[in-house]
Amino acid sequence: MSDVTMLVSLALIFGSMLSGFATFRMSGMRLMPHFIALILAFVLTIGTFITPNTIVFYLAILFQILAPITVCGTICNIIKTQYQTTGIYSSHLALMGMLIVMAIGNLLMYI
Amino acid sequence: MIKEINVKSLRSPAMLVEKVIEKTDGGILVIETDGDSQIKEISELIKKMGYKMEVDGTDIKVSIGEIEASKSINVVGASCPGPILMVGEVLERMAVGEVLEIIAGPNAFTDLTEGLKSMGNDILSAEKTDGGNYKILIKKEEKKKELGVSLDIDEVFIINMTGTGNAEKAYATFMMADVAQNMKLKPTIFLMFDGASLALKGECDKVKHPAFPKLGDKLRAAIKSGVKIYVCEMSSEFRGVDKKLEDGIEIAGAPTFFRFLSKPNARPVWL
């Protein structure tokens, strides 16, 4: 595990949480699986700095990948039917896109 | 009890008013005057007699003792549009001339007084109670026609352009339609641009704010109560929702949009 990579991931998750709250309010509070995945990713990523346990590391990576995937159901529908409001969601989407690349990269470097 | 007298063109209206007040046990006395000089004379008399009064145009309303309301409703704690809908429902079952007592929280006070006035009712009194709430007494009246050059607005044209991507505006679309119906205004909803997403079957069911009913239920209730909902043909085709619309929603185009927008008796509401 690279501490620097994980720190960047943590920054991305924290940024995603803040931008996610705005989208969560806008869309009628309907992103529950995604919301939970993102919070768990945040907690587990912090956990990797506290404990050297590899299970925590793998779980953090798993949730860093799951969080962007769980947003698909909602965001695909919004992109398809309500694309004029996607500007509001774009900062959150950008951070989610970066997070999944970081998570996969981190995993490949570790293996 | 409400008593009405007309003192127009009387040279000393105070004399007549004094006699009437003396013979009135309690309730509200509405005095129709012909202008400032009569209002001034009568006001001085009423102040001297120690009664509460209110000037409304050329009318003076004098409160003599307690007024007995035919019905009473408490809407404390209900938030918009709850109070006006609850009061509207009770008023619907009351006869013209009957008095309704409303106990409302401070947030609903302006909404109720303004809304009920525009429905044609008469606000007899509105006072703050010790608990910080308001006690409003209204007399049910028939809706009067506006005089002069102003037109009688009896329709609202609600245009939604944001869809479920903005849940607050989506809820507002159907809540405004509810309130409009309650105020005897005919609502028509037009969904265009992103608003077309609201017409997609099942889409509104995905939105459920903890404080409100499911958006899908609001949409279906609106259709059931007779609210006409149109969806823009171009917008729905752009989003591929034209083939999977909620039952009761009709596809329409620019001519329908402009017909409603140019109706002199309708006001547009853009969301």
pLDDT digits (tens, 9 = 90+) for B220-237: 999 999 999 999 999 999
* d(C-alpha B129, C-alpha B73), whole Å: 15
Domain total of chain B: 3
pTM of the model: 0.72
Nearest by CB to residue B210, choosing from A27, A29, A81, is: A29
CA distance B115 to chain A (A): 28
* d(C-alpha B139, C-alpha B267), whole Å: 27
Domain assignment present for B161: yes
Per-residue pLDDT at A11: 97
* d(C-alpha A82, C-alpha B162), whole Å: 7
Answer yes or no: do B102 and B43 share one domain: no
Per-residue pLDDT at B70: 86
Answer yes or no: do B191 and B260 share one domain: yes
Task: Write the DSSP assignment of chain B as a string of letters.
Answer: -EEEEE-TT-S-HHHHHHHHHHT--SEEEEEE-SSHHHHHHHHHHHHHHT-EEEEETTEEEEEESPPPPSEEEE-TT--TTHHHHHHHHHHHTSPTT-EEEEEE-HHHHHHHHHHHHHTT-EEEEEEE-TTS-EEEEEE--PPPPPPTT-----EEEEEE-SGGGSHHHHHHHHHHHHHHHHTT-EEEEEE-GGGGGGGBTTTGGG---TTS--HHHHHHHHHHTT-EEEEEHHHHHHTT-TTSBPTTEEEE-HHHHHHHHT-TTEEEEE-
Its ipTM equals: 0.84
Domain assignment present for B145: no
Q: Does A80 touch chain B (CB under 8 A)?
A: yes
* Bridge partners of residue B123, in order along the sequence: B138
Per-residue pLDDT at A64: 97
| Interchain proximity B170–A26, CB inside 8 Å | no
Answer yes or no: do B42 and B93 share one domain: no
Per-residue pLDDT at B148: 57
What does each C-alpha distance from B106 to A25, B74, B77, B85, B110 come to in angstroms?
Answer: 27, 13, 10, 17, 8
| Interchain proximity A28–B194, CB inside 8 Å | no
pLDDT tens string for chain A (111 positions)?
A: 678 999 999 999 999 999 999 888 888 887 788 999 999 999 999 999 999 999 999 999 999 999 999 998 888 888 888 888 888 889 999 999 999 999 999 999 988
Contact residues on chain B for A27, CB-CB shorter than 8 A: 164-165, 167, 207
Contact residues on chain A for B207, CB-CB shorter than 8 A: 27-28, 30
* d(C-alpha B207, C-alpha B22), whole Å: 61
Answer yes or no: do B169 and B213 share one domain: yes
| Interchain proximity A27–B194, CB inside 8 Å | no
Edge-first strand order for the sheet with B27-32 is B2-6, B27-32, B59-64, B52-56
Domain assignment present for B45: yes
Q: How many CA atoms lie within 13 A of B57 on its CB side?
A: 6
Nearest by CB to residue B208, choosing from A28, A83, A84, is: A28
Domain assignment present for B149: no
Answer yes or no: do B49 and B16 share one domain: yes
Q: Does B244 touch chain A (CB under 8 A)?
A: no
Instruction: Spell out the residues 6+ positions from residue A65 whose beta carbon is closer than 8 angstroms to its own.
Output: A100, A103, A104
Find the closest chain A residue to B169 by CA distance: A26
Which of B105, B140, B175 is the last residue before a domain boundary? Answer: B140
A 23-52: CB under 8 A from B: 26-30
Per-residue pLDDT at B56: 78
Contact residues on chain A for B203, CB-CB shorter than 8 A: 77, 81
Q: Does B112 touch chain A (CB under 8 A)?
A: no
Q: How many CA atoms lie within 13 A of B103 on its CB side?
A: 11
Per-residue pLDDT at B146: 55
| Interchain proximity A27–B164, CB inside 8 Å | yes
Answer yes or no: do B265 and B183 share one domain: yes
Which of B113, B140, B167 is the last residue before a domain boundary? Answer: B140
The DSSP call for residue A85 is G
For B20, the token pair is 């009437």
The parent domain of residue B198 ranges over: 155-270
For B150, the token pair is 């102003």
Find the closest chain B residue to A28 by CA distance: B167
Answer yes or no: do B57 and B77 share one domain: no
Strands B52-56, B59-64: pairing is antiparallel
Which of B49, B64, B79 is the last residue before a domain boundary? Answer: B64
Q: Which residues of chain B have pLDDT under 50?
A: none
Answer yes or no: do B90 and B22 share one domain: no
Contact residues on chain A for B171, CB-CB shorter than 8 A: 28
Q: What is the mean pLDDT of chain B?
A: 87
